[in-house]
Amino acid sequence: MHHLLDRLNPEQLAAVKHTEGPLLIMAGAGSGKTRVLTCRIAYLLDQGVAPYRILAITFTNKAAAEMRERVNQMVGAQAKDIWLSTFHAFCAKFLRMEIENLPGYKRNFVIYDSGDSQSVIKSCLKELNLDDKMFAPNATQSAISNAKNLLLDVRDFARQADNFHAEKVGEVYKLYQQKLEAYNALDFDDLLMLTVQLLQQNQTVREKYQNKFQYIMVDEYQDTNRAQYLLIRILAEKHHNLCVVGDADQSIYGWRGADIRNILDFESDYPQAKSIKLEQNYRSTQVILDAANAVIEHNADRKPKSLWTDNQAGETISCYKAQNEQDEAHFIADTMTKLNMVYRRPFGSMAVLYRTNAQSRALETAFNYTGIPYTIVGGVKFYDRKEIRDIMAYLRVIFNPEDTVGLLRIINVPRRGIGDTTIGRLMAYAAENNVPLFDAVSNPDLVPGLKTKAKQELESLAALIFTLLGKAGTLPVKDLINLTMKESGYLAELEKEDTPQAESRIENLKELLTVAKQYVTEGIEDNLENFLSHVALVADIDTAELAEDRATLMTLHSAKGLEFPIVFLTGLEEGIFPHTRTLMNEEELAEERRLCYVGLTRAQQKLYLTYTEERTLYGNTVRFRPSPFLTEIPPNLMDAVTVTGQKASSFGQPARKIMAAPTGTVHSFNAIHSSGIVNSSSAVHSSGAVEWRTGDKAQHPKWGIGTVIQVRGIGENQEVHIAFPNNGVKTLSVKFAPLTKV
């Protein structure tokens, strides 16, 4: 045990040993907070605390799994009894045991993802005859979601509605909630809201869990919302041994209801709280940290904090200005190839980060062309694929036949001749008699107006579901999936199709079987209930295999908590990052800046920043200015890089050289862009400033004509090094120096 603690610095050690009473750990990026948390758990166990009395909440399943693995290495098998999961997974586990204490819900509830929930919202809007211009499904859905995150139930919401629109949304909320209850389904937000409501209302249950959890730890505390905050507060009320870890500068989920005040106010919430700052960074070079610190300092109202490191200064940051997104992607692909071939850096050490998922498209194209192996995290999610959703819908209906969204999804998949008319009649019958849709499906004789063929089909569908349902209790999940695919005729229909697309769908279904198999080995009981919860709550980032030798592409949000030796931060344009929607609002802009801070601090050794002059945005070409964040980075930390070499040939591999060498940068005098288009020797910024490139001739009133030999920074913050034949090399700031291009 003690040798584990030996490797901690004094602050880390203090955080590990302060086990009694509230503790706030302000942990800067890369300051070893995961190590602190895992050591803290091991320390508690070593002190004789029972594992099941420890509750640790992380932000992603991946982080939970990683932490469990590390604790496991330290303390062995007892690690498995620690309550270690995400908020949502914790609530799901809790509600599986306790939900029947709430009226209306049953323990075999299903969890609806945002797609499912949106389809319920749509049907509510239709039923209430609301104009979908004024009540966009998306906006309505997020209004309801926000309400739930603030723990406003249907009643509270109606009470605080002070205008027509809000009142109507309140009606949608009410109907939506009624439907979910009728379907015995919970959406993501319900998991949290109902957990808190149950704990608040039911003293017996509350005390049971308050007593149980003697030590509570919450990671990424800056990203907790109101519901999560209250959940933790209630659970910690008895023992007060609450340790929260976070970094206000990395709060990036405000749009999802996260309230940064939860961490800022921790000391006033818990006056006896001890607080510890972890400011030594073990991850990044000094250059990278200086850049990150400089950017985040532009945020107002922030508790001063400054990361430092013993690491080397490291390489300067390279900044590439691209013509368009294809050019940007090619620069990245070529640079990666060079890093891999010349400097022997594995692709697995590189990550490309972007603000929006849509930006991955151009990158993917370039990577496929260049042959760089990559994994995309997020985007088109595995579980969002049609065939996966279809089979999952079957499983859900088997688990809970009242799941009407699932039932509607599969009622005519594969095609069995049950069309809109029949469905309409079934729905009408169900509504009139106030029974689940499944009752109508399984008793078609009672439903008026059905044709004989429809009745037959419905009966055989019901029989299929009953058969599978009967076996669900005993069969391993993978066998159940197999049976479902066969007996439903789903697989047969795909096989009959005999197209490449159908082929790849079959492949995906096989992948689902693999998931169901691997899931068993994870030591959780192999039943449908666990599998459904697992699938509903697992994000792509959790399953992505980042260890392989593949470059990783993902959004900045997904990158949180990860680190890579080499990071490309792309699309640094005003309107992309920061995103247009945030430009008008100071608080949202500050969140974008924190996101930038998160992105910069992912890099361990080398950082590349890229931006483009123009970009195709749904159909048309848009011009952007460079991101303001770029000018917030001190120019002496950053070099402008260019791509040089021959024009790409139309056939075979493009013959190009990258001059963005990791150390010491040399620029060609004939800059040619990788798109093969000759770049004009100077480009004018939208802001009006002259953009300098290495090799440009510059005239200065005092020193005469010289040659630009180095460029650092971007925009008006540029610094240029110019060699004047009679006066030597001068470093000049573009903003102030009276320079003209010649």
Partner DNA sequence: GACGGTATTGTTTTT
Partner DNA sequence: CAATACCGTC
Contact 735, 720 (CB under 8 A): no
Residue 43: CB minimum distance to DNA, A: 27
Report the SS3 class of residue 467: helix
Q: For DNA, which is the closer residue by CB, 190 or 402? A: 190
Contact 403, 422 (CB under 8 A): no
Residue 175: CB minimum distance to DNA, A: 19
* 449 counts as binding DNA under rule CB under 7 A: no
Select from 113, 153, 459, 632 the one that contacts DNA (CB under 7 A). Answer: 113
Q: Which residues contact 588 (CB under 8 A, 6 or more apart)?
A: 254, 255, 581, 582
Q: For DNA, which is the closer residue by CB, 363 or 541? A: 541
Select from 3, 272, 474, 618 the one that contacts DNA (CB under 7 A). Answer: 618
Residue 638: CB minimum distance to DNA, A: 25
Contact 199, 234 (CB under 8 A): yes
The single-letter DSSP state of residue 681 is S
Select from 422, 605, 679, 694 the one that contacts DNA (CB under 7 A). Answer: 422
Select from 10, 103, 523, 619 the one that contacts DNA (CB under 7 A). Answer: 619
Report the SS3 class of residue 545: coil
Select from 9, 202, 273, 378 the one that contacts DNA (CB under 7 A). Answer: 378
Q: Is 129 left (phi over 0), alpha (psi -120 to 50) or beta?
A: left
Select from 4, 14, 65, 136 the one that contacts DNA (CB under 7 A). Answer: 136
Q: Which residues are catalytic?
A: 33-34, 219-220, 250, 602
Select from 12, 31, 38, 60 the one that contacts DNA (CB under 7 A). Answer: 60
* 259 counts as binding DNA under rule CB under 7 A: no
Q: For DNA, which is the closer residue by CB, 78 or 616? A: 616
CA angle 113, 114, 117 (to 5 degrees): 90
Q: For DNA, which is the closer residue by CB, 642 or 675? A: 675
* 421 counts as binding DNA under rule CB under 7 A: yes
Q: For DNA, which is the closer residue by CB, 142 or 286? A: 142
Residue 707 bridge partners (DSSP):
697, 723
- x/- string (CB under 7 A) for DNA, residues 69-88? -----------------xxx
Q: For DNA, which is the closer residue by CB, 12 or 228? A: 228
Identify the burial level of 185 via C-beta atoms within 10 angstroms of its C-beta, where 0-12 means exposed, 13-18 middle and 19 or more buried: buried
Tokens 């004009």, residue located: 680
As a three-state string, the secondary structure of 608-644 is EEEEECEEEECCEEEECEECHHHHHCCHHHEEEECEE
* 454 counts as binding DNA under rule CB under 7 A: yes
Round to whole Å and give the CA distance between 293 and 307: 7
* 195 counts as binding DNA under rule CB under 7 A: no
Residue 553 bridge partners (DSSP):
352, 376
Residue 77: CB minimum distance to DNA, A: 26
Residue 593: CB minimum distance to DNA, A: 12
Select from 131, 310, 420, 545 the one that contacts DNA (CB under 7 A). Answer: 420
- Strand order in 54-58's β-sheet? 83-86, 54-58, 215-218, 242-246, 23-27, 274-278
Round to whole Å and give the CA distance between 535 and 700: 65
Identify the burial level of 701 via C-beta atoms within 10 angstroms of its C-beta, where 0-12 means exposed, 13-18 middle and 19 or more buried: exposed
Q: For DNA, which is the closer residue by CB, 506 or 617? A: 617
- x/- string (CB under 7 A) for DNA, residues 138-177? x---------------------------------------
Query: Near DNA by CB under 7 A, which window of 11-19, 98-106, 416-424, 597-605?
Result: 416-424
Task: Select from 413, 411, 414 the least CA-distant residue to 424.
Answer: 411
H/E stretch holding 82: none
Number of residues that bind DNA (CB under 7 A): 47
> Which two structure tokens, joined as six digits, stand for 383?
């579980």
Residue 202: CB minimum distance to DNA, A: 24
Report the SS3 class of residue 700: strand
Q: For DNA, which is the closer residue by CB, 76 or 419? A: 419
CB atoms within 10 A of CB 61: 19
Residue 338: CB minimum distance to DNA, A: 29
- x/- string (CB under 7 A) for DNA, residues 322-361? ---------------------------------xxxx---
Report the SS3 class of residue 324: coil
Task: Select from 287, 369, 296 the least CA-distant residue to 593.
Answer: 296
Q: For DNA, which is the closer residue by CB, 304 or 500? A: 500
Q: For DNA, which is the closer residue by CB, 349 or 558? A: 558
Beta strands in 579-718 (DSSP E): 603-612, 614-617, 620-623, 625-626, 638-641, 643-644, 657-658, 683-684, 690-691, 697-700, 704-712
Q: For DNA, which is the closer residue by CB, 554 or 596? A: 554
* 419 counts as binding DNA under rule CB under 7 A: yes
Q: Which of residues 536-595 bind DNA (CB under 7 A)?
A: 537, 539-541, 554-555, 557-558, 579, 581-582, 588
Residue 647: CB minimum distance to DNA, A: 24
Residue 359: CB minimum distance to DNA, A: 8
Round to whole Å and give the CA distance between 728 and 410: 77
Round to whole Å and give the CA distance between 597 and 372: 27
Q: For DNA, which is the closer residue by CB, 346 or 378? A: 378
Residue 675: CB minimum distance to DNA, A: 17
- x/- string (CB under 7 A) for DNA, residues 664-693? ------------------------------
Q: Which of residues 227-256 bind DNA (CB under 7 A)?
A: 252, 255-256
> Which two structure tokens, joined as six digits, stand for 314?
């490291």
As a three-state string, the secondary structure of 3-54 is HHHHCCCHHHHHHHHCCCCCEEEEECCCCCHHHHHHHHHHHHHHCCCCHHHE
Select from 19, 114, 146, 200 the one that contacts DNA (CB under 7 A). Answer: 114
Select from 76, 104, 373, 417 the one that contacts DNA (CB under 7 A). Answer: 417
* 533 counts as binding DNA under rule CB under 7 A: no
Round to whole Å and give the CA distance between 340 and 355: 25
Residues that bind DNA (CB under 7 A): 59-60, 86-89, 113-114, 136, 138, 188-189, 252, 255-256, 355-358, 378, 412, 415-422, 451, 454, 537, 539-541, 554-555, 557-558, 579, 581-582, 588, 616-619
